Amino acid sequence: EAEVAQSPRYKITEKSQAVAFWCDPISGHATLYWYRQILGQGPELLVQFQDESVVDDSQLPKDRFSAERLKGVDSTLKIQPAELGDSAMYLCASSQGPNNEQFFGPGTRLTVL
């Protein structure tokens, strides 16, 4: 069964360092989402792509976060510099289209020391 892949699964970094997370959506899925899930809370959308274009990044802290999906397939989320408050689970999801079921990857757990 096709799955959303994410790497790394775990990342520990020191504050002020740069980190990057990678997501490979299910083949053929045009819509890709990055969510942040703080411990004890539900996921919050950071950015949504339709193919290679950003359609919603209203909750993305653009001073330190960036996301790209250059060829409309896999995607990278970067944080530079990382802050203590960025410690969270970063979830990637994909769907065939914007009104279709979202399939989630296993997430990357980030710890900033």
Partner 1 sequence: GEDVEQSLFLSVREGDSSVINCTYTDSSSTYLYWYKQEPGAGLQLLTYIFSNMDMKQDQRLTVLLNKKDKHLSLRIADTQTGDSAIYFCAESTSSASKIIFGSGTRLSIRP
Asked whether position 91 contacts partner 1 by CB under 8 A, the answer is yes
Could you tell me how many helices (H) and strands (E) the chain has, helices first? 0, 11
Q: Give Dmax (Cα) for the chain.
A: 39
CB atoms within 10 A of CB 55: 12
The least distance separating partner 1 from the CB of residue 35, rounded to whole angstroms, comes to 8
The least distance separating partner 1 from the CB of residue 46, rounded to whole angstroms, comes to 11
CB atoms within 10 A of CB 63: 8
Asked whether position 107 contacts partner 1 by CB under 8 A, the answer is yes
- Give Cα 87 distance to the centre of its chain: 13
Asked whether position 111 contacts partner 1 by CB under 8 A, the answer is no
State the binding string over 37-76 for partner 1 (x if CB under 8 A, else -): ---xxxxxx--x-------x--------------------
Q: Which residues bind partner 1 (CB under 8 A)?
A: 4, 31, 40-45, 48, 56, 91, 93, 95, 98-99, 101-107, 109
